[in-house]
Structure 1
Amino acid sequence: MAVRERDPLTGYLTTGHEWDGIKELSTPIPHWWVSVFIASCVVAVIYMWLYPSFAITEGYFPGTLGWTSRGQLKEEVVDARAAQAQWRQRLMAVPLDQVEQNDDLRRFAVTGGRAIFNENCAPCHGVGAGGQIGQFPSLLDDDWIWGGTLADIAQTVQHGIRNDDADSRQSMMPTFGDMLSAREIDQVADYVLTLSKPADDTSRAAMPGAAIFAQNCVACHGATGDGNREMGAPRLNDGIWLYGGGKAAIVRQITHPRMGMMPAFGAKLGEEAVRMLAVYVHTLGGGER
């Protein structure tokens, strides 16, 4: 049986355990630590009573103060919108193409637009708006399928592309794999590759794919590959490619074209947010006047 005794050096009792002559002391917990622990327990009980805390049969105990983080967020949003009211009114009062002429109003729109972009657009176009090759277009360059003016961008954000919105822009590239032979597709791909590179017009016109391009592609993309924004036909002569600019990618696009869809954000975000987004995207580097 373990025998407890008092240690002559420290004055503390031992636990009665001994290992090779070493005895274990029974050191008491400091009084200040015990006091802090008890006080913490009291505070925790009070907190659980005042604020949402433990689970009950139906949901959770809401707390006697009725406070919720969601309610606090709503109050902060209301306060923030009240503080921004004059700027939002100015944003809606000024014609869209004149927003950027006022530095303060432009900064307000760009700041709000960036936050809205990161929440709604970044999953596809990236946080920096650089897009994803083979998936979503970059918004940093000056290549615009549907136009890069503020009005064009606002239209695209408001109604989207190829969706069920009544005013959504629509376009479709035919599946030429059902109309042209593999050899013809290969030839027209070779021709398309030359459109974005310096080449002699005579030698280019003599290529086998030139006649095929003229017969099947000029109506939408133009004789020199300038594209057609009214039809949503992209440029082919600027070296900027959404689905890849190598020959294999071009052959694949001609054979079985890929066409993306963009949601209509107008109903979800409202006109104020659409304007902010349009200004933000327009100022990224490729906006047109």
Structure 2
Amino acid sequence: MIEKDPITGVETTGHVWDDNIQEFHNPLPRWWLWTFYATVVFAIIYWVIYPSWPVGSTFIKGINTITYQTDAGEEVTSHWNTRALLARDMQTGKSAMAQKAYLNEIAATSYDDIAKDADKLAFVESYGNGVFGEYCAACHQSGAGGVVGEYPNLIDDDWLWGGAPHEIETTLKIGRIGFMPAYEETFNDAQLTQVANYVLSMSGEKSDPALAAAGEEIFHGQTGGCHYCHTNEGTGLKSQGAANLTDKIWTIADVRGAETDEQRLERVKSVIHNGVNRVMPAWSSRLSDTEIKVLTAYLLNKRAGGQ
């Protein structure tokens, strides 16, 4: 016999506590039960297909597989996992294929035409910014302004190894070694002061005329031999990465940041005394020719004032 609560009319289980507390018989809705059973079945199937439970020092890897290519171009088939999925999507996904199409267009387009095409330039800015951020920004800073005395500014007009597109490409591919010998054992302090005055005078900075004249003789003579790399006019040699000393752009001695004439002189003397030894790595083993072209176009756009 089915018992019902006399007040609500709801079926009860017949269990009563304290004379009037009864347990109602309210079964779960059938749709809820079937949904629950479905989730259990789904979970079991998922555990079979995809990685799931830990077992000892490993885990159940599932029967599903995924195929992708390594950076070396080798095809690899692995059990399904999110890293392999990401690798495949970056190679064959919709966004990846669109990116490859753009890269192919950039590879076939001249730098002048890239600069005239707003769509291509936007891609260069987006893709190049990512490449620059990953490989270059640690030294040259996120805005490519560099660090005086350490890493060159890439958005000014003073490119020691040349700022033409093919010259930038070469720099990126093979790297550069910026070297100037230290003159600590060659010049005494008087000679060091004289040469530093002459170097300052070449770019129009305040200097002592008499000391600069003496420094000019050392600069062009066998004692200093500075003209071999910086030329007789002091305009530098791109083939050597030797700085132009006449253009008022100071990449190593922080002359612009000096507050007094004495401080400017000391900073130039310090560079001559200690020399220069800067190395930029070659990127040809890390970046494809097309990526180097994108990065070159990105830097050219930066230099032209693009954002």
Q: Which runs of 4+ in 1 moved over 6 A?
A: 45-50
Check the 8 A contact 2:50/2:63 in 1, yes or no.
yes
Bigger mean CA offset, 204-213 vs 103-112: 204-213
Amino acid at match of 1:228: L
Q: CA deviation at 1:64?
A: 5.6
- Of structures 1 and 2, the one scoring higher in RCO (CA 8 A, sep 6+) is 1
TM-score, normalised with respect to structure 1: 0.71
Measure how far apart 1:272 and its partner are. 0.9
Give deviations 1:67-121, integer Å, cap 9, x for gaps: 3221221232122332233322222223445432333223222321111111111
Contact 2:47 2:53 in 1 (8 A): yes
Residue aligned with 2:277, SS: coil
> Which residue of structure 2 lines up, in the alignment, with residue 192 of structure 1?
199
Q: Is the 8 A contact 1:48 1:54 kept in 2?
A: yes
> Hey, what's the Cα distance between the residues in 1 that align with 2:270 and 2:52?
58
CA contact (8 A) 2:149 2:254 kept: yes
2:122 is aligned with 1:107: yes
Secondary structure of 1:85's counterpart equals helix
- What is the CA-CA distance between 1:180 and the residue it aligns to? 1.9
Matched residues in 1 for 2:54 and 2:193: separation?
67
Give, in whole Å, the separation in 1 of the partners of 2:294 and 2:51: 37
Paired residue for 2:249?
239
Q: Which amino acid aligns with 1:280?
A: Y
SS at match of 1:184: helix
Name whichever structure is richer in strand by fraction: 2
Q: Quick one: which amino acid aligns to residue 187 of structure 1?
A: Q
Match of 1:250 among 268, 276, 295: 268
Residue 279 of structure 1 aligns with which residue?
Answer: 297
Q: How does 1:1-289 map to 2 (within 5 A)?
A: 51-52=50-51, 55-63=54-62, 65=64, 66-77=79-90, 78-79=92-93, 80-162=95-177, 172-197=179-204, 203=209, 207-215=213-221, 216-237=225-246, 238-245=248-255, 246-285=264-303
Deviations 1:168-194 (A, max 9, x none): xxx532232222222211221122122
Query: 1:140, CA displacement in angstroms?
Result: 1.4
| Gap runs ≥5 in structure 2 | 1-20, 22-31, 65-78, 256-263
SS of structure 1 residue aligned to 2:179: coil
Q: Work out the CA distance in 1 between the residues paired with 2:212 and 2:197.
A: 12
Contact preservation (8 Å) 1:49, 1:63: yes
C-alpha separation in 2, matches of 1:99 and 1:270: 18
Aligned match of 1:23: none
Deviation at 1:213, TM superposition (A): 1.7
Question: How many residue pairs end up in the alignment?
Answer: 243
Normalising by the residue count of structure 2, what TM-score does the alignment of the two structures yield?
0.67
Sequence identity, in percent?
29
DSSP 3-state at the match of 1:84: helix
Per the alignment, do residues 57 and 285 of structure 1 end up closer, same or farther by CA in structure 2, a change over 3 Å counting?
Answer: same
Contact conserved, 2:181 with 2:276, CA < 8 A, in 1? no
The offset of 1:214, in angstroms, is 2.1
